[in-house]
Amino acid sequence: MGTFRIATFNVNSLRSRLHIVLPWLSRYEPHVFSMQETKVVDEKFPRREFEELGYRVFFRGVKQHSGVAVAVREDPREVSFGLSDDGPPDEERLICLKLPAVTIINTYIPQGRERDDPQFTYKLAWFRRFRKFLERFFTPQEPLIWCGDLNVAPENIDVHDPKRLLGHVCFTPEVWEVFSYVKAWGFYDVFRKHHPGETGQYTFFDYRVPKAVERKLGWRVDHILATEPLLKKSLHCTIDMGPRLAEKPSDHTILYADFAL
DNA sequence: ATGGTAGTAAAACTA
């Protein structure tokens, strides 16, 4: 099918970010566009705007927070939401699209608040539940992409100040451990394949930090991971800073990758 | 050591 482009973007309210999302789709023409923190209930989702650009769009949202969506240029064979186990379904945190050539899993992983907060325990459990989800429904030999805001910066080079940030809920050994446990099922970091050891590459810059972008005070917490058969076919993986520098920016950037499929 | 900003939505809560 040629080049297959997939992008992921934590929009921090989709309706407030359409001025970034829609022109980006027109310019970059990704096959798949994954969104997190849409912050919109399904009845108010801006479906028409995506359809006018030639995308079908699938989404699940709740009031105020979270919410995931995927826009795609072809009809999926199947769409599902949530972790499908005995725990809270969290349909507004996981959307899975089976396309003819590849399956896309887009997640907004719980942030965790503080390490002594029950939400942090929930976050760690979420990763373990996600590995069970993988074991139950997929194999590492099939073409699978896991992308989204994973709320983990995996290595020292993925944050601007590893000493000071050590112990943050997105940068602490307990989270590295469960993230490694999920990756060990069969996922590889597509960005790191193309940028080994490269520093200063971030996808998130906190609004609350003054001049965070120009001072390079970022985190790499948004990811595109792929199973081995797809990793081999990846052509590049790139962070587009545009969305973080735009008028009314999101606090996240857009991460995108191309695959030769 | 705290607070800084932005979003939703109408006072806090989330990140």
pLDDT of residue A114: 96
Chain B positions within 7 A of any protein Cβ atom are 3-9, 13-15
Q: What is the pLDDT of residue A32?
A: 98
Give the Å distances, CA to CA, from A44 to A41, A52, A106: 6, 17, 21
pTM, two decimal places: 0.98
Give the per-residue pLDDT at A82. Answer: 98
Cα→Cα distances A232→A8, A135, A193, A228, A240, Å? 20, 22, 10, 6, 23
Nucleotide nearest to A64 (CA to C1'): B8
Domain with residue A191: its CATH number is 3.60.10.10
Domain housing A244? 3-260
| pLDDT averaged per 10 residues, chain A (length 261) | 94 98 98 98 98 98 96 98 96 98 98 96 98 98 98 98 97 98 98 98 97 97 98 98 97 98 92
Cβ-in-10-Å burial (0-12, 13-18, 19+) of A21 comes to: buried
Q: Count of domains in chain A?
A: 1
Position A259 scores a pLDDT of 98
Residue A251 has phi, psi (to 5 degrees) of -80, -10
Question: CB less than 7 Å from strand B: which protein residues?
Answer: A 12-13, 15-16, 37, 39, 41, 63-66, 110-111, 113, 119, 207-209, 248
Query: A208 CA to B12 C1', in Å?
Result: 18
